[in-house]
Chain A
Amino acid sequence: MSIKFSSDIPTDREVVLGILNNSVEALNKLYLAYFPMVLQFILNNSGDEDDAKDVYQEAIIVLYNKVRSGNFELSSKLKTYIYSVSRRIWLKKLTQQSKKTNNIADFEDVLAVDDNVELHEEKDMQFDKMKVALDSLGEPCKTIIQDFYIHNHSMQEICEKFGYTNTDNAKTQKYKCLQRLKKLFFQS
């Protein structure tokens, strides 16, 4: 198998439009197109396949946030952008694991993306806070909240799913769960 980055590389424009339209297909193409590049970088800089997956997914999340925030200018190739972000994230992880970060073997051009990555780190902390709060919420609260806020189910559906006698009961239950979650979220 030769080192080629998928025969079906989407154009940068295609990807940006796909992100704005929440296109699953565009994400798929994007993901398949540049994963080998990041995998090569991580493998050659003391990481393994799982590290590559984590770093690559984080880099794509950074890209998504950037594009959705509306101030994404395609000043370079998307490939270079993803590579640079992945590289930055991986170097940070290496530093945290106090592994040496000199002698980095590079395979692509590198952009300065520190701001993007720092912004991402803030959001990532928020994400982790929410995750921890949800996990410590316990059932059935966690599922009710997730169904309502993430999967956008109506109170009627939740009422039926959990066997509440009427929606008022369900609403009360959801209210209690929400209060607890908020408390956990804001206190942590």
Chain B
Amino acid sequence: MRNEIELEAIIEDYLNGKLTAEERVAFEQLRSNDPVVDHKVVAHKVFLESMAQYAQVVKLREQMDAAHSQIDVATLAESLRPHPSKLVKLWRNNRSAVAIAASFILLAMVSLYSIQSNNKQAGTFEAMSKDMAKIRSTQNTLIRDIKTRQANSSNNNNNNARFGGTGFAISGNGYIVTNYHVVRGADSVYVQNSNGSYKAKSFYSDPVNDIAILKISDKRFESLPALPYTMKRGSSGIGESVFTLGFPKDDIVLGDGYVSSRNGINGDTLAYQVAIPVNPGNSGGPLLDNSGNVVGIINGKENKTDGATFAVKSKYIMEALNAIPQDSLSRKVSYGKKSSLRGLKRNKQVQKMQDYVFMIKVYNNN
């Protein structure tokens, strides 16, 4: 018994490398001579290894349990549990795939958009609109919203929307041309020049070309002397200097510029594009060249580009005029003749023609 305990102790020391060199040699001698001892050594070796492994795992588990107790498992589990909604599950499981797909779509849209905007005029033309909110927010239509004034409230006691534009005489006896969008839906129209304010009524309208002709119906109106300007017969070329008169405010305002394109927005052949700064209220104003020929009528601008104003070509004004019975027009605007403004300086030209340019005030009662 005692011997066995001794032997076991020696085997253990041997396996743990605790024997001295001498003892070691002696023991190995014994081991090779005695198969029973050798078997015990092998068995004990396996046992010790298993024990060490066991000890290691036990320790590791203890440490992990300590770490585990730091985790708020219940809360964590709640947030990670499969979501009842399939959509959320799908999102959680395929988060990266969805993200990649989304970025591809975004990229495609951005590149498509940039290609489109390279090829096309990005701006939009909205001069036809008479909706007040739109006018206020985009300011791209050139009808002016006149502020309510006490002076006018005798004519019109309610606070309905009022719009303003510009128009110009095409005959001495009170025919005035302006834009259709200025007077569209109007209940009453007043025109005003430096001599006074007159009631007018719509006489002819051409929505396609955005042209309207008004007739002054007021008895106080006295006929105007012969018109200083004429209508231009041909079309104007790019670069031709032009100017306009209009009423973006209560006084007449001169705008100066040049024809920048033969066509209007998106290739609209009815109109010119001109580089003239215009503001709401300029709609319907005459566009004249240096010689005093009317080349067009201002009707809108592009809301994205500065200085891209559009004007209906004079040719379409003449078409409108031809629709009026010729004998009702006295001293009508001449066509293709020499204008009396020719050769004058700009300030003289303006002085001569400002009585023929009217502010147009539109009242809506509905």
Contact = CB atoms under 8 A, between A and B. Distances in A.
Interface of A: 1-3, 24, 27-28, 31-32, 35-36, 39-40, 43-44, 49, 53, 57, 60-61, 64, 105-107, 123, 126-127, 129-131, 149-150, 171-172, 175, 178, 182, 185-186
B363 to A, nearest CB: 61
Contact of B8 (A1, A126, A178): A178
A175 B5 contact: yes
Interface string B51-80: 111111111110110111011011111111
B4 A3 contact: no
A53 B60 CA distance: 14
B67 A3 contact: no
Interface in B239-278: none
Contact of B82 (A39, A44, A106, A175): A44
In the A-B complex, the 10 residue pairs with the smallest Cβ-Cβ separation, listed nearest first, are A31-B67, A40-B80, A150-B55, A130-B54, A1-B79, A175-B5, A28-B67, A44-B82, A149-B51, A57-B64
Contacts of A60: 60, 64
Nearest to B49: A126
B85 interface: no
B224 to A, nearest CB: 78
Nearest to B7: A175
A82 to B, nearest CB: 13
A187 B8 CA distance: 19
Contact of A3 (B58, B68, B79): B79
Contact of B73 (A24, A27, A39, A175): A39
A129 B9 CA distance: 24
A77 to B, nearest CB: 15
A49 B77 contact: yes
A123 B57 CA distance: 10
B71 A35 contact: yes
B47 A32 contact: no
A122 B12 CA distance: 25
B151 interface: no
Given A49-B77, A171-B9, A172-B5, A32 B55 contact: no
Contact of A39 (B44, B70, B76, B92): B76
B51 to A, nearest CB: 5
B63 A24 contact: yes
B53 A123 contact: yes
Nearest to B48: A149
A60 B63 CA distance: 11
Interface centre among B4, B53, B57, B71 (most CB of A within 10 A): B57
Interface string B71-114: 10111111111100000010011000000000000000000000
A107 B93 contact: yes
B55 to A, nearest CB: 4
Contacts of A57: 61, 64, 68
Contact of A1 (B47, B48, B75): B75
Nearest to A178: B8
A6 to B, nearest CB: 9
Contacts of A126: 50, 53-54
Nearest to B57: A127
B36 interface: no
6 contacts: A32-B70, A43-B77, A53-B73, A64-B60, A150-B58, A175-B8
A35 B53 CA distance: 24
Nearest to B79: A1
B26 interface: no
Contacts of A105: 82, 89, 93
A87 B283 CA distance: 75
Interface string B26-57: 00000000000000000110011011111111
